[in-house]
């Protein structure tokens, strides 16, 4: 073995296990989608971290169409029906199953039905909204990573892999078989040992880490991240309006209402201000004739605001799957003007470009929930400016500030992640990567005089 070959053998990459010859793909795909699908088919086991509206559903359906054998797609409840319709649009037959039965080439189910399906019945599996495996102690993560690791072809798709949460990247790496999470940590990270108990990327290992990630994942916020034109993928303006409602509820022994400091105090502040916040939001929504989606955290919030808005339809966790699916169908068809629900029900994966008005009747501390809910409307394909209202009580403390801070942190980390991955992704996706062994001499070479031939200087 030559020395250069030996060096290359030491590189940490995940080899391709997919198709050696890529078939002709659907001409409806945009150029960047076409090349991402080609890359994912060659990879065999891959992750597509692609922002909302960039066509993850189209890409995963085309991937499912061409991988050998039968395919199972796991998706959030309402997204399953949406994917079936997208399949009709792109010429890929997708059938829903909730009882563990395989239905044709491509079967789709929701995550709640996971335990009903046997990995031995499928040759490929797709995780739609794969951020569901972000918690390495979570039920879905354990089941999907451990039980479905025997499936030959694996694809994970999400818009929001937490770029500052390396545990989530580790879970995705483990799902596609690139490396176990614990191995990733020991190879590229060091534990800070302090009160934060965080894993910190080794400075000298940073470039190697991102090179390894790019061997099994691609990240796209917009097509130009991979060197393509952004035409048709420019987001409209997002108008965020924060409205603070004065609370008249003073704690016992105090003359004025006090700002909440702890999580428990914030939850209490939300409960006692439901009526006031709902009245403020109802005035805005009732003065409009357009469609709205209202996100609530508490069932009492949903009940109160629904009563204040004529024709509003509320969907809660206790409702049947049939009602949930019918309610979102009616809203997307335009027969329901105002939909009231929780982010956990309709906040992930559903395309709601038909509506450009949304409101939060209070906020939780989850930035991902906020981001995903806003992105149901503010996504590529939206033609109108998106109006987002956040209604909070003055006693709720710094919850909005916390969300804004997390938003800036996430945006900064996403930019860093894209920057680190951009050149490597562009090379890998476009198929122009050229592997070289780097050599950066620090000491000038000295050639002895006796090596010179006569007349050479």
The tens digit of pLDDT for each residue in 312-359 reads 999 999 999 899 999 999 999 999 999 999 998 999 889 999 999 999
| Cα distance between residue 268 and residue 350, in whole Å | 31
Range in 122-126, 177-181, 195-199, 399-403 the model is least confident about: 195-199
Stretch (H or E) spanning 276: helix 274-286
Q: Does residue 253 register a pLDDT over 60? A: no
Angle, vertex CA 237, rays to CA 231 and CA 238, nearest 5:
130
Question: What pLDDT, on a 0 to 100 scale, did the predictor assign at position 91?
Answer: 94
Q: What is the pLDDT of residue 456?
A: 47
Classified as helix, coil or strand, 374 is helix
Distance from chain centroid for Cα 121:
27
Q: What's the rounded Cα separation, in Å, for the pair 215 and 209?
A: 10
What would the two tokens of residue 59 be? 């890409």
**What pLDDT is stored for residue 369 in this prediction?**
87
Going from the C-alpha of 146 to that of each of 215, 268, 291, the distances in angstroms are 21, 40, 43
Give 202-247 as a DSSP string: -GGGHHHHHHHHTTTEEEESSGGGGT---TT-----EEEEEEEEPP
**% of residues, the chain, pLDDT over 90:** 48
Residue 435 has pLDDT above 70, yes or no: no
What is the Cα–Cα distance from 173 to 52, expressed in whole angstroms?
21
| Number of Cβ within a 10 Å radius of residue 136 | 15
CATH superfamily of domain region 7-232 = P-loop containing nucleotide triphosphate hydrolases (3.40.50.300)
Contact 100, 117 (CB under 8 A): yes
Q: How confident is the model at residue 163 (pLDDT cuts 50, 70, 90)?
A: very low
Beta bridge partners of 314: 340
pLDDT band at 193 (very low <50, low <70, confident <90, very high): low
Domain(s) labelled CATH 3.40.50.300 in the chain stretch across 7-232, 238-403
> 115-124, 129-138, 410-419 — which one is most confidently predicted on average?
115-124
Q: Give the C-alpha separation, 59 to 158, whole Å.
A: 12
Q: Which residue did the predictor score with more confidence, 14 or 2? A: 14
Q: β-pairing, 189-191 with 199-201?
A: antiparallel
Residue 308 pLDDT more than 90? yes
pLDDT tens digits for 30-41? 999 999 999 999
Eight-class DSSP state of 287: T
Least confident of 195-199, 233-237, 241-245: 195-199
With a CB cutoff of 8 Å and minimum separation 6, the contacts of 118 are 100
Q: What is the mean pLDDT of residues 9-36?
A: 83
Q: How far apart are CA 15 and CA 177, in angstroms?
A: 10
Q: What is the mean pLDDT of the chain?
A: 83
- For residue 403, what pLDDT is reported? 77
pLDDT at 424 over 60: yes
Cα distance between the two ends of the chain: 35
Write the CB contacts of 2 (distance below 8 Å, at least 6 apart in sequence).
Answer: none
pLDDT per residue over 438-451, tens digit each?
445 566 666 666 66
What is the tens place of the pLDDT at every residue in 374-417?
999 999 889 999 999 999 888 776 677 777 777 777 777 667 66
Provide the pLDDT for residue 201: 73
CATH superfamily of this structure's domain 238-403:
P-loop containing nucleotide triphosphate hydrolases (3.40.50.300)
- Count the neighbouring beta carbons within 10 Å of the beta carbon of residue 417: 20
How many other C-beta atoms lie within 10 A of the C-beta of residue 435? 8
More confident residue, 409 or 120: 120
* 3-state class (DSSP) for residue 200: strand
Question: What average pLDDT score do residues 170-188 get?
Answer: 88
Supply the pTM of this predicted model: 0.80
Q: What is the structure's pLDDT at 393?
A: 85
pLDDT confidence band for 159 (50 / 70 / 90): confident
Tokens representing 130 are 């794969």
């Amino acid at each position: 073995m030559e020395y250069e070959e030996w060096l290359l053998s030491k590189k940490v990459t995940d080899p391709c296990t997919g198709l050696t010859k890529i078939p002709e793909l659907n001409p409806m795909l945009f150029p960047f989608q076409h090349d991402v699908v080609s890359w994912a088919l060659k990879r065999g086991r891959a992750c597509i971290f692609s922002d909302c509206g960039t066509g993850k559903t189209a890409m995963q359906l085309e991937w499912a169409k061409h991988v050998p054998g039968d395919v199972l797609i796991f998706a959030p409840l309402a997204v399953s029906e949406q994917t079936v319709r997208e399949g009709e649009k792109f010429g890929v037959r997708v059938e829903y199953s909730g009882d563990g039965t395989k239905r044709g080439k491509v079967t789709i189910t929701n995550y709640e039905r996971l335990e009903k399906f046997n990995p031995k019945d499928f040759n490929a599996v797709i995780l739609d909204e794969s951020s569901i495996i972000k918690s390495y102690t979570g039920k879905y993560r354990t089941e999907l990573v451990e039980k479905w690791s025997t499936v030959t072809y694996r694809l994970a798709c999400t818009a929001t892999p937490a770029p500052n949460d390396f545990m989530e990247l580790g879970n995705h790496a483990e799902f596609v078989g690139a490396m176990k999470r614990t191995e990733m940590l020991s190879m590229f990270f060091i534990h800070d040992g302090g009160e934060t108990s965080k894993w910190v990327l080794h400075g000298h290992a940073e470039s190697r880490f991102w090179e390894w990630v790019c061997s099994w994942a691609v990240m796209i916020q917009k097509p130009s991240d991979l060197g393509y034109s952004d035409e048709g993928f420019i987001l409209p303006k997002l108008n965020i309006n924060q409205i603070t409602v004065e609370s008249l509820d003073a704690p016992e022994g105090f003359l004025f209402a006090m700002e909440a400091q702890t999580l428990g105090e914030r939850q209490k502040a939300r409960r006692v201000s439901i009526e006031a916040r709902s009245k403020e939001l109802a005035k805005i929504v009732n003065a409009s004739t357009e469609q709205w989606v209202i996100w609530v955290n508490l069932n009492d919030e949903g009940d109160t605001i629904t009563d204040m808005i004529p024709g509003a339809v509320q969907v809660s966790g206790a409702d049947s799957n049939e009602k949930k699916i019918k309610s979102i169908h009616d809203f997307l068809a335009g027969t329901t003007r105002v939909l009231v629900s929780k982010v956990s029900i309709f906040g992930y994966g559903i395309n709601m470009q038909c509506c450009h008005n949304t409101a939060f009747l209070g906020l939780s501390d989850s930035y991902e929930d906020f981001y995903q809910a806003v992105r149901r409307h503010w996504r590529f394909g939206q033609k109108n400016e998106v109006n987002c209202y956040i209604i909070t009580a003055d006693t709720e403390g710094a919850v909005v500030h916390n969300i804004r801070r997390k938003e800036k942190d996430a945006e900064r980390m996403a930019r860093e992640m894209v920057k680190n991955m951009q050149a490597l992704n562009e090379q890998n996706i476009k198929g122009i990567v050229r592997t070289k062994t780097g050599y950066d001499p620090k000491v000038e070479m000295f050639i002895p005089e006796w090596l010179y031939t006569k007349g050479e200087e």
